[in-house]
Amino acid sequence: MAKKSVPPRNKLLVEGDEDKRVIPYLIEANDIPWEYKNKQPFVYIESCDGIEKLLNKNVISTELKASGLSALGLIVDADDNSKDRWQNIRNVCLPSIPDFPENLPETGLILMTNSGVKFGVWMMPDNKMSGMLETFLTYIIPDEKELLWNYAQTVVMEAKNKGAPFIENHTDKANIHTWLAWQNPPGRQLHNAVMERILNPKHPQAQTFINWFKKLYDLSRI
């Protein structure tokens, strides 16, 4: 007989697979175990394959009604307009969470719903600036690599001026992947760069996010 799956107690919805791969390594690198002894994750991450599906009007209400749920989190990219993105999130959440705040705290949103479920939102990169996951990861480039990082940004700008076809909103993606192309080994994927400490997951600029994650999912006691 097939083993019956148990609904996750803690769940996180993200836009894509890159977020799903990076976040566990980022959390573990900050001395927080990711799995129980039975190899089940403390937080189940679901990739929604894009912001449109994540912010579908029925998704949040359905997730909040899941049996046995203790905490639900959303991680979304601000992209080019953080205020508009926050308003979109608020509009989707208001039917399920009537006291949803008008403004996103700089430390990330955490609140308790009327049904007793903790609900949280983090908007990449830092709840205030435009950007995305890759923008956040530029914040944790090791300080001693700052000179090379500045040069990578200059090279990307020159490439754009010479006809490189990436769109302006993806400049941070181009910047960090250019910088990663010059590391040893070159061209590591983002999650590998975190795992292998090519990026610095314990960088001070990562700690507000780490603290939000720990508080939302009650991981401080683990």
Domain residue ranges of the chain, discontinuous segments joined by +: 10-131+202-216, 133-195
Please tell me the distance from the alpha carbon of residue 180 to that of residue 44, in angstroms, as a whole number.
28
Q: For residue range 114-171, what is the model confidence (pLDDT) as tens digits?
A: 999 999 999 999 999 999 999 999 999 999 999 999 999 999 999 999 999 999 999 9
Please tell me the distance from the alpha carbon of residue 115 to that of residue 53, in angstroms, as a whole number.
24
Q: For residue range 13-48, what is the model confidence (pLDDT) as tens digits?
A: 999 999 999 999 999 999 998 887 767 899 999 999
In Å, what is the CA distance from 114 to each residue of 71, 117, 169? Answer: 13, 7, 37
Q: Is 131 left (phi over 0), alpha (psi -120 to 50) or beta?
A: left
Please tell me the distance from the alpha carbon of residue 133 to that of residue 172, in angstroms, as a whole number.
9
Q: For residue range 90-120, what is the model confidence (pLDDT) as tens digits?
A: 999 999 999 999 999 999 999 999 999 999 9
> Which residues are registered as beta bridge partners of 124?
77
Tally the residues of the chain. 222
Q: Is 197 left (phi over 0), alpha (psi -120 to 50) or beta?
A: left
